[in-house]
């Protein structure tokens, strides 16, 4: 990506190397598996489960700081976050709103959040309770090795998707969906709402990329396909097929590979956030 001398964000909190009391909660593999199963198949936030099992959010020892200047991965993340800040500030202003920047927390393995204990095993996530994005940079290696989705724009898509959840939180969409999920008459109906929320975040990621590239020319030739590969790799159908060998559509919480690609592309093709209204779409 063409980031050149673009600024880094002041909203990155580097907790890497910091220790939780007692080395963390000491979750076993079984506990993490339960959290992941709940996340993938029942639409339950894994951070909440791990937080409940651990007895709440523990404190982290030490003081967080900005990432070091010679840390390429952290600096890349900081620059992408800054690009989301610039673009979403513009979009919100165009719509008569004021954008509030989220914080992005870099951590290793485990950290406290207002949503419970965050684990790297659950992947990147957004916590609306503290308006922070949590990212263990080892996920980018997993994206390359496990999901065969390498490239800077693939990584940028991941960050932009989580920022999309922050946008939903600021607009009150997340709160409405959570309330609707609680009223849903079945687990499948609640999951279907989660799918629409996640696909909208994918669309917002595509919209951010389009707006930012149009303004600053950040994309190199061929990089668009990196995000498509990432969206394809983390579709519910693809993940369930890999994990269990079977696909259970009513348990989807993020959308199929085709849906995730479709909504990312839809955002990339448009400049209006209204085009990302998955909740009014008859066909996902």
Per residue in 186-238, pLDDT (tens digit) is 999 999 999 999 999 999 999 999 999 999 999 999 999 999 999 999 999 99
Quick check: helix, strand or coil at residue 148?
A: coil
Sign, Cα dihedral of 138, 165, 180, 275: negative
Q: What is the pLDDT of residue 19?
A: 73
How far is residue 227 CA from its own chain's centroid? 13
Of 30-39, 121-130, 249-258, which gets the smallest average pLDDT? 30-39
pTM of the model: 0.85
Tokens of 156: 């940028």
17 Ramachandran zone, left/alpha/beta (phi>0; psi -120 to 50): left
Question: Taking residues 74-92, what's their average pLDDT?
Answer: 97
Residue 109 neighbours by CB under 8 Å, 6+ apart: 24, 119, 120, 136
Q: Is the pLDDT of residue 37 over 60?
A: no
Per residue in 47-60, pLDDT (tens digit) is 444 444 444 444 44
Which residue has tokens 């097929």?
A: 241
Instruction: Count Cβ atoms within 10 A of the Cβ of residue 13 and give its class: 0-12 exposed, 13-18 middle, 19 or more buried.
Output: middle
Q: What is the pLDDT of residue 33?
A: 44
Q: What is the pLDDT of residue 30?
A: 42
């Amino acid at each position: 990506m063409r980031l050149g001398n673009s600024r880094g964000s002041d909203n990155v909190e580097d907790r890497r190397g910091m220790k939780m009391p007692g080395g963390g909660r000491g979750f076993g593999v079984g506990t993490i598996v339960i959290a992941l199963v709940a996340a993938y198949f029942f639409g339950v936030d894994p951070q909440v489960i791990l937080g409940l099992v651990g007895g709440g959010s523990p404190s982290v020892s030490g003081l967080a700081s900005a990432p070091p200047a010679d840390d390429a991965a952290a600096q890349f993340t900081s620059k992408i976050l800054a690009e989301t800040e610039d673009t979403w500030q513009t979009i919100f202003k165009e719509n008569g709103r004021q954008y509030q920047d989220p914080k992005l927390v870099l951590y290793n393995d485990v950290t406290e959040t207002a949503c419970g204990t965050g684990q790297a095993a659950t992947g990147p996530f957004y916590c609306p309770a503290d308006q922070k994005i949590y990212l263990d940079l080892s996920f980018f290696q997993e994206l390359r090795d496990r999901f065969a989705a390498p490239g800077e724009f693939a990584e940028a898509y991941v960050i932009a998707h989580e920022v999309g959840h922050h946008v939903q939180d600021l607009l009150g969409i997340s709160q409405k969906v959570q309330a609707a999920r609680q009223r849903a008459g079945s687990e499948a109906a609640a999951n279907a709402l989660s799918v629409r929320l996640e696909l909208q975040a994918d669309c917002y990621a595509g919209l951010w990329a389009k707006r930012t590239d149009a303004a600053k020319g950040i994309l190199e030739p061929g990089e668009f396909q990196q995000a498509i590969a990432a969206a394809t790799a983390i579709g519910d159908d693809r993940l369930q097929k890999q994990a269990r060998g079977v696909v259970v559509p009513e348990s989807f919480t993020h959308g199929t590979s085709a849906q995730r690609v479709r909504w990312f592309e839809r955002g990339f093709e448009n400049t209006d956030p209204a085009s990302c209204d998955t909740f009014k779409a008859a066909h996902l």
